[in-house]
């Protein structure tokens, strides 16, 4: 009958069976009382409830009450822990309270829990038993008496059982009503219960406080608070956090008793007492803290001194806790300059800091490493601390400045904290407090008004709270403000700024400013140049909409700009460290999208700002703003043109900015056109591959003028083309280079360099980027062209059904396998030569997985002022960096157009993998579809980083900046560099301008660059090697030698030289001259030497044997022959190196034999060199064998790549021939290291 079953259905069936048997078998009813007792012992209260409530056991004649009452009231039980939240497994017996549960109680409360209790008390504490317990208590007075006793409810006065306590309290109240005819609670007749629940535990918290802080216990707490005078205090709820509970209690008190006198006089006095909570003190700004009573500001010299050891005590009398925050300018040399906070164990009158003082904190470095700002302040318990500033041979930096404070703003109190809160519940509470207490009402309409405005001026976060204070105080108009308050707002402080100045400039609450500026005196004070200039200034590159709207408010209220405003707007900030930051305030305003309305309003007021505005937009990266200014009626005047030309900005615009704008300005202003066609500018445009496309435009422009001008321009440029020079350094904004299509391709116009701008395209508009533009999806304008590359965000109504591979169904590796190496080919055609396949022509381009930067630049939305001022919400649209879309190349006219037709998009880049900063890349355009590449090793990219437009495929090759990609030769003729870069469109134009004067030089330059460049030249032009070209090749240069000699001696042009030898008799004759043959007799050019010298059965030359005896080339041939013989015979003994072909080795041996036969005197030279080389090879073989045994050294060297190994050998003066493998380099370095060790250790070797 009393057993439990875990299965609820089976338990129900069993209960039905017990009931059925119990009332049908008389013998079973004889032990009904015993059955109840056994169920109570097992705490199976379900059986007891069924017997008493359902079956009416108490009224049965067989039921015996005496044994049951004796059992229920016997003090035999420990309080079960599961009633108070202790976990119990199914079927497990209930456990007593744990030590952790008891530790939360006060001593008296804990004693009650540790005592033994009766089964009746345990039964009462289980909420499920309440109906059953009421039935028992109504039958037996002894049980009822225990139910309403203080000791019973004390066990329920914990958060977990507050509902049980409330029920027990109700029973005690009913008893008093029935027995005594009044109102009250039986449990609280004895003061001991109140004393127990108000006794603090070891943490200082009382049982009553824990109930008050428990939201689930609010029903019980409110009932007790309103009905038990000893517990009626609500001071704990009179805070911003619990304002809702306090307001509810006040309202409930009014409903029940019709009175509002729930706040005692002591509680009212406590609310108005001048003090601030720790949580508020931590949030105070620098201005608030420095102006608070007793605050101390301390600082070092600026910059701080070297070799300093300053010790100083700091105290704030009466402080319980001190807070410390540092100025944003604070900076000290890390590690060599340290600021320490210390605290003595006991204070004395001696100013010296004892050595035993405890170090609280040490600080050094930048402002971000110090308390204050975004970091919480330092907290120091007590009223004093000691300061030590120590520097040792440190680089002087700004130093430190900090404020130490312990109090809130003057006049601050708990009531002020409630009044300043923007919490609606705090407002509800304040309205009740003001209505029920005259002290609160007087404070709200008096000192609180000035306090709230002062606090709002010093702390922007309180601006809206101040507006709420005025509303709660019933001040409906600024005219109701006292003259004293207005005087306080207009009085200038230590920084020369009034509180009104701070409020207006911050504009933290547009509603507050609108309310206050209705006062005549405050409105008049807004006519201030300083106030207007500060509202338009910002720091850290971040423009806040509230500050912008503050400036607009000021401009609208001013009948005219204050005197001196124009001069201050145009003054350049010389104090900025970065050169790009040295601009005027007006220039910064014009270039900032958020300030567009300010700029427009100021242009209406002051016509003298028009010319400087144009100068600001004619800066690199900001020319897109020109259309905005012209839309406002700003025109380019002669003065503007003069400024552009005198400042040198015009040349930069021509070379860097979108060509359509440049062409428009040229057409409108003859002076700009004349300046554009200067020979110096044309030459400069050709001095960098980045601007060669501009050179094409300039030449086309020049050809449209008179012949006289052409002659003048041509004569000045031609001399520069044929002079040795260097390409200019390319230090500009990030760029994208698109190359690879043939010049006859229908989309060849998209090729070329695209320069980054400060523009980004949002859903339907352009917006200017501030911060790191190279890390955004910014717009790239084609240099010298009318195309633009930009990120088009996917329309919301477009179907986004692309697969992860971009819809192409293939993967693409970053390194092109079809010959497109990412060279710079602005005019189309093939890329630069790379005959030795060493990857040099890729200009160090990295794979698309390389990241250039981590920080994301900040994007500023165009600020459209909303009604009500600076309380606008942030743009809800996702950031462009987080939206899907594609990179497109279009005409500039299509930039930012929302719905583009397929014909408008010349190239589309479907690229989900590419990060914004990785657009700084070279794109190679290849005709035909891209084949699937096997594998996906390091540097590979997914298909999403490929581009497809009709039959044109693009591939992202790298993410290198342009300054790293232009690795150009030094001291070369400018024309040679143009040819080497494959700038065929420009080269062809130069040929058309100068005819044969340039054509023959172009051909010779192409020959110097190699066979591929020569083939590209012949494909793009009609240039051929003729008599004039041969004459130029054989022409003696001023510095000595000929171009033909360079071709013969250059390993990379060997094949081309052999081809030309076979085609041109004059070149063969020049190569066969004895002085040339002597230069060719060396291993590197043995093929040419064998062709010219050893090709026949005997030697038909005019070579001089004496010259060969002294010539090092013959000796190098012998050394090479011996070396190859050793390598062939000892291939397994570490002879690792570049394997020359058997044919070349054979030619070396044959050539040596023929030379010795022709000149017998060479035999002795051969034998001598051969013996020396054989001995050297034997020593080398032995060293290689020892190196192979030195596992430690070989293992160490295996971690080094080519660059450090070559650097080591260079430092040792060892020359390294071309083509040596990395493994061979490691062997050579290892041998040198072993030789050095043996020399240092006396030949004993070493393990270094």
- pLDDT digits 0-9 by tens, 1186-1236: 888 888 888 888 888 888 888 888 888 887 776 678 888 888 898 888 888
pLDDT digits 0-9 by tens, 987-1042: 888 888 778 888 888 888 888 888 888 888 888 888 888 888 888 888 888 778 88
Q: Could you give the CA distance from residue 629 to residue 940 in angstroms, rounded to a whole number?
A: 46
Which tokens in the block code for residue 1043? 């171009």
Alpha-carbon dihedral 674, 679, 682, 686, rounded to 10 degrees = -170
Percentage of the residues of the chain whose pLDDT score is greater than 70: 76
Strands 309-315 and 378-381: unpaired
Of 432 and 799, the structure prediction assigns the larger pLDDT to: 432
**How far is Cα of residue 182 from the mean position of the Cα atoms in its chain?**
71
Rank 80-94, 579-593, 1026-1040 by mean pLDDT and report only the highest. Answer: 1026-1040
Per-residue pLDDT tens over the stretch 38-48? 888 888 888 88
Question: First vs last Cα of the chain: how many Å apart?
Answer: 88
Query: Which tens digits make up the pLDDT trace of 1149-1194?
Result: 888 888 888 888 888 888 888 888 788 888 888 888 888 888 888 8
- The pLDDT of residue 842 is 30
pLDDT digits (tens, 9 = 90+) for 177-224: 777 666 778 778 778 889 999 999 888 889 999 999 988 999 999 999
Residue 789: beta bridge partners? 780, 889
Query: Which pLDDT belongs to residue 455?
Result: 92
Q: Rounded to an integer, what distance in angstroms lies between the CA atom of residue 912 and that of residue 944?
A: 5
pLDDT tens digits, one per residue of 308-361: 888 999 999 999 999 999 998 999 988 788 999 998 765 444 445 555 678 899
pLDDT, tens digit, 9 for 90 and up, residues 528-578? 999 999 998 876 556 777 888 999 999 998 888 999 999 999 988 755 555
* pLDDT for residue 1103: 66
Check: CB of residue 509 under 8 Å from CB of residue 467.
yes
**Per-residue pLDDT tens for 1075-1133?**
888 888 888 888 888 888 754 433 455 666 677 777 778 888 888 888 777 776 654 33
Query: Which residues, 6+ apart, have CB-to-CB distance to 414 below 8 Å?
Result: 238, 239, 270, 271, 272, 273, 275, 277
**pLDDT above 60: residue 849:** no
Q: Alpha helices of 618-725 — where are they, by DSSP H?
A: 626-631, 638-647, 649-656, 659-668, 670-676, 679-686, 692-703, 707-721
Average pLDDT of span 630-651: 90
Least confident of 366-380, 486-500, 726-740: 726-740
Give the mean pLDDT of 793-818: 40
* Exposure on the CB side of residue 400, measured as CA atoms within 13 A: 30
Conformation bin of residue 294: beta by default, left when phi > 0, alpha when psi is -120 to 50: left
Best CA proximity match to 932, nearest among 802, 812, 794? 812
- Asked if residue 836 has pLDDT above 70, the reply is no
CA gap 1124, 324 in Å, rounded: 78
Whether residue 303 has a cis bond before it, omega within 30° of 0: yes
Mean pLDDT of 67-79: 91
CB atoms within 10 A of CB 265: 10
Residues in contact with 639: Cβ distance below 8 Å, sequence separation at least 6, in sequence order? 611
What helix, strand, coil percent values describe the chain, rounded to 5? 50, 10, 40
pLDDT at 1244: 41
pLDDT at residue 1213 in the model: 82
Identify whether the C-beta of residue 436 lies closer than 8 Å to the C-beta of residue 430.
no
DSSP helix/strand/coil, 665: helix
pTM of the model: 0.68
Q: Rounded to an integer, what distance in angstroms lies between the CA atom of residue 426 and that of residue 298? A: 37
- Mean pLDDT score, 145-162: 91
Q: Is the dihedral of CA 1185, 1187, 1190, 1192 positive or negative?
A: negative
6-65, pLDDT tens digit by residue? 666 666 677 778 777 877 887 877 788 888 888 888 888 888 888 888 888 888 888 888
Vertex 457: Cα angle to 452 and 461 (nearest 5): 80
Q: What are the structure tokens assigned to 1015, written together?
A: 């083939």
Residue 923: Cβ within 10 Å count: 26
Mean residue pLDDT of the chain comes to 77
pLDDT tens-digit map of 230-284? 888 889 999 888 999 999 998 888 887 766 567 888 888 999 999 898 889 999 9
Phi, psi of 259 (to 5 degrees): -125, 150
What pLDDT shows up at residue 772? Answer: 56
Q: Which two tokens stand for residue 462?
A: 């309180």
Tokens of residue 226, six digits: 């309103």
What is the reported pLDDT for 484?
92
Burial letters 452-490, b for 16+ CB under 10 A, else e: bbbbbbbbbebbbbbbbbbebbebeebeebeeebbebbe
Angle between helices 707-721 and 692-703 (to 10 degrees): 150
Contacts of 522 (CB under 8 A, 6+ apart): 478, 486, 489, 490, 500, 516
Residue 624 has pLDDT above 90, yes or no: no
The answer, yes or no, to whether residue 421 has pLDDT greater than 50, is: yes
User: Phi/psi at 1059 (nearest 5 deg)?
Assistant: -60, -40
pLDDT at 1008: 86
- Give pLDDT, residue 430: 92
Tokens of 181: 């005819």
Compute the chain's Rg from CA coordinates: 46
């Amino acid at each position: 009958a009393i057993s439990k079953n875990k299965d609820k259905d089976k338990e129900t069936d069993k209960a039905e069976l017990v009931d059925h048997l119990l009332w049908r078998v008389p013998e079973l009813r004889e032990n009904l009382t015993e059955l109840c007792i056994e169920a109570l012992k097992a705490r199976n209260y379900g059986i007891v409830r069924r017997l008493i409530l359902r079956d009416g056991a108490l009224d049965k004649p067989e039921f015996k009450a005496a044994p049951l009452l004796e059992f229920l009231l016997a003090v035999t039980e420990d309080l079960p822990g599961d009633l108070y939240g202790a976990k119990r497994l199914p079927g497990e017996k209930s456990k007593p309270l744990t030590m952790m549960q008891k530790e939360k109680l006060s001593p008296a409360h804990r004693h009650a829990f540790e005592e033994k209790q009766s089964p009746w008390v345990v039964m009462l504490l289980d909420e499920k038993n309440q109906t059953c317990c009421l039935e028992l208590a109504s039958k037996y007075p002894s049980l009822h008496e225990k139910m309403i006793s203080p000791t019973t409810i004390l066990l329920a006065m914990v958060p977990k059982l507050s509902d049980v306590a409330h029920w027990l309290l109700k029973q005690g109240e009913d008893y008093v009503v029935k027995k005594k005819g009044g109102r009250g609670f039986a449990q609280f007749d004895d003061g001991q219960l109140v004393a127990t629940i108000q006794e603090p535990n070891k943490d200082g918290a009382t049982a009553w406080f824990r109930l008050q802080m428990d939201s689930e216990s609010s029903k019980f707490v409110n009932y007790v608070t309103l009905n038990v005078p000893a517990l009626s205090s609500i001071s704990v709820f009179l805070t911003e956090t619990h304002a809702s509970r306090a307001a509810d209690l006040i309202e409930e008190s009014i409903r029940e008793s019709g009175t509002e006198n729930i706040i005692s006089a002591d509680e009212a006095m406590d609310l108005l007492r001048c003090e601030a909570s720790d949580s508020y003190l931590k949030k105070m700004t620098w201005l608030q803290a420095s102006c608070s009573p007793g605050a101390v500001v301390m600082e070092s010299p600026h910059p701080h001194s070297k070799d300093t050891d300053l010790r100083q005590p700091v105290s704030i009398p009466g402080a319980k806790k001190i807070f410390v925050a540092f100025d944003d300018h604070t900076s000290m040399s890390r590690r060599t300059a340290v600021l320490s906070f210390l605290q003595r164990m006991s204070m004395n009158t001696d100013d010296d800091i004892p050595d035993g003082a405890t170090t609280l904190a040490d600080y050094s470095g930048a402002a971000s490493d110090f308390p204050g700002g975004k970091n919480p302040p330092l907290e120091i318990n007590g009223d004093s601390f000691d300061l030590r500033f120590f520097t040792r041979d440190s680089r002087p930096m700004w130093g430190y400045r900090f404020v130490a404070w312990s109090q809130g703003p003057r006049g601050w109190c708990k009531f002020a904290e409630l009044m300043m809160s923007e919490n609606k519940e705090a407002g509800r509470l304040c309205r009740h407090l003001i209505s029920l207490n005259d002290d609160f009402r007087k404070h709200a309409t008096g000192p609180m008004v000035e306090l709230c405005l002062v606090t709002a001026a010093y702390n922007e976060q309180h601006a809206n709270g101040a507006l709420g204070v005025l509303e709660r105080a019933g001040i409906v108009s600024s005219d109701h403000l006292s003259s004293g308050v207005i005087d306080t707002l207009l009085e200038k402080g230590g920084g020369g700024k009034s509180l009104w100045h701070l409020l207006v400039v911050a504009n933290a609450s547009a509603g507050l400013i609108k309310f206050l500026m209705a006062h005549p005196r405050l409105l008049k004070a807004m006519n201030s140049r300083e106030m207007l200039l500060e509202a338009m200034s910002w720091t850290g590159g971040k423009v806040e909409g509230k500050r912008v709207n503050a400036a607009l408010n000021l401009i609208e209220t001013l009948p005219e700009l204050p005197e001196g405003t124009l001069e201050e707007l145009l003054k350049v900030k010389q104090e900025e460290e970065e050169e790009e930051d040295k601009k005027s305030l007006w220039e910064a305003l014009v270039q900032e999208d958020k300030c567009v309305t300010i700029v427009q309003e100021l242009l209406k007021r002051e016509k003298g700002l028009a010319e400087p505005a144009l100068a600001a937009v004619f800066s690199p990266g900001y020319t897109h703003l020109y259309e905005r200014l012209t839309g406002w009626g700003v025109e380019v005047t002669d003065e503007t043109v003069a400024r552009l030309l005198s400042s040198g900005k015009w040349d930069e615009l021509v070379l860097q900015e979108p060509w359509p704008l440049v062409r428009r300005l040229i057409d409108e202003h003859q002076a700009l056109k004349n300046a554009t066609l200067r020979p110096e500018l044309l030459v400069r445009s050709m001095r960098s591959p980045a601007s060669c496309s501009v050179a094409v435009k300039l030449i086309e422009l020049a050809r449209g003028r008179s012949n006289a001008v052409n002659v003048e321009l041509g004569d000045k440029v031609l001399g520069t083309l044929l002079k040795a020079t260097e390409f200019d350094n390319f230090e500009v904004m990030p760029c994208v280079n698109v190359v690879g299509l043939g010049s006859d391709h229908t989309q060849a116009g998209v090729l070329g360099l695209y320069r980054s701008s400060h523009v980004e395209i949002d859903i339907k508009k352009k917006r200017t980027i501030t911060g790191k533009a190279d890390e955004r999806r910014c717009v790239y304008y084609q240099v010298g062209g009318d195309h633009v590359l930009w990120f088009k965000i996917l329309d919301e109504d477009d179907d986004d059904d692309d697969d992860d591979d971009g819809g192409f169904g293939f993967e693409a590796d970053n390194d092109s396998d079809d010959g497109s190496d990412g060279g710079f080919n602005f005019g189309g055609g093939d890329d630069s030569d790379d005959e030795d396949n060493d990857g040099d022509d890729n200009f160090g381009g990295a794979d698309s997985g390389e990241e250039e930067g981590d920080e994301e630049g900040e994007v500023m939305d165009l600020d459209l002022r909303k009604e009500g001022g600076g309380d606008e919400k942030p743009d809800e649209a996702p950031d462009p960096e987080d939206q899907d879309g594609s990179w497109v190349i279009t005409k500039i006219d299509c930039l930012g157009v929302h719905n583009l037709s397929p014909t408008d998009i010349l190239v589309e880049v479907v690229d989900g993998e590419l990060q914004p900063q990785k657009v700084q890349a070279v794109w190679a355009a290849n005709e035909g579809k891209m084949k699937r590449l096997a594998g996906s090793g390091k540097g590979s990219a997914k298909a999403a980083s490929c581009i497809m437009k009709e039959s044109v495929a693009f591939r992202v090759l790298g993410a290198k900046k342009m300054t790293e990609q232009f690795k150009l030769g030094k001291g070369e003729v400018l024309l040679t560099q143009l040819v080497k870069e494959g700038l065929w469109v420009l080269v062809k134009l130069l040929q058309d301008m100068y005819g044969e004067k340039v054509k023959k030089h172009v051909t010779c330059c192409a020959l110097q660059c190699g066979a591929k460049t020569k083939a590209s030249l012949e494909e793009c032009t009609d240039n051929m090697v003729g008599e004039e070209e041969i004459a130029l090749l054989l022409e003696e240069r001023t510095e000595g030698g000929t171009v033909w000699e360079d071709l013969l001696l250059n390993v990379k042009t060997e094949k081309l030289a052999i081809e030309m030898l076979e085609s041109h008799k004059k070149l063969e004759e020049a190569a066969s001259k004895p002085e040339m043959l002597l230069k060719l007799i060396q291993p590197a050019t043995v093929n040419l030497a064998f062709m010219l010298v050893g090709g026949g059965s005997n030697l038909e030359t005019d070579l001089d044997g004496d010259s060969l005896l002294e010539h090092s080339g013959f000796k190098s041939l012998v050394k090479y022959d011996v070396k190859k013989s050793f390598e062939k015979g000892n291939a397994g003994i570490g002879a690792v190196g570049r394997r020359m072909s058997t044919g070349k080795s054979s030619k070396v041996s044959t050539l040596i034999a023929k030379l010795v036969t022709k000149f017998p005197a060479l035999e002795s030279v051969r034998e001598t060199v051969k013996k020396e080389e054989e001995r050297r090879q034997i020593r080398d073989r032995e060293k290689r064998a020892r190196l192979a045994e030195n596992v430690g050294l070989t293992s160490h060297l295996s971690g080094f790549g080519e660059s450090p190994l070559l650097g080591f050998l260079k430092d040792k003066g060892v020359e390294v021939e071309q083509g040596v493998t990395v493994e061979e380099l490691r062997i050579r370095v290892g041998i040198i290291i072993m030789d050095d060790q043996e020399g240092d250790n006396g030949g004993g070797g070493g393990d270094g």
